[in-house]
Amino acid sequence: MEINKISIKEDFIRLDSAMKLGDMVVTGGHAKIVIQEGEVKVNGQVCTMRGKKLHKGDKIEFEGNLVEII
């Protein structure tokens, strides 16, 4: 599985924003739906909070795609 890396300058990025930035979804609305339906994992655990704060080192999994926050 290839890892797409997202670099952030702030202390955190919200899960839905990270999914858009990592090209996992096209819109924030799509991110909201798939997160609420339990289709997204953060650090190996299902996450249903679209506003979850992600920090450097966190990983998102969705539909076979993996994004790491750096």
Domain ranges of the chain: 3-69
Answer for the pair 7, 58: CB distance below 8 angstroms, yes or no. no
Fold annotation for 3-69: 3.10.290
Q: In this predicted model, what pLDDT tens digit does every residue of 24-69 receive, in sequence order?
A: 999 999 999 999 999 999 999 999 999 999 999 999 999 999 999 9
Q: What is the pLDDT of residue 2?
A: 78
Q: Would you give the DSSP letter of residue 2?
A: P
Q: Which residues pair with 69 in a beta bridge?
A: 6
pTM for this model (two decimals): 0.92
Instruction: Produce one character per residue of 33-67: b if its CB has 16 or more CB atoms within 10 Å, e if not.
Output: ebbeeeebebeeeebeebebebeeebebbbeebbb
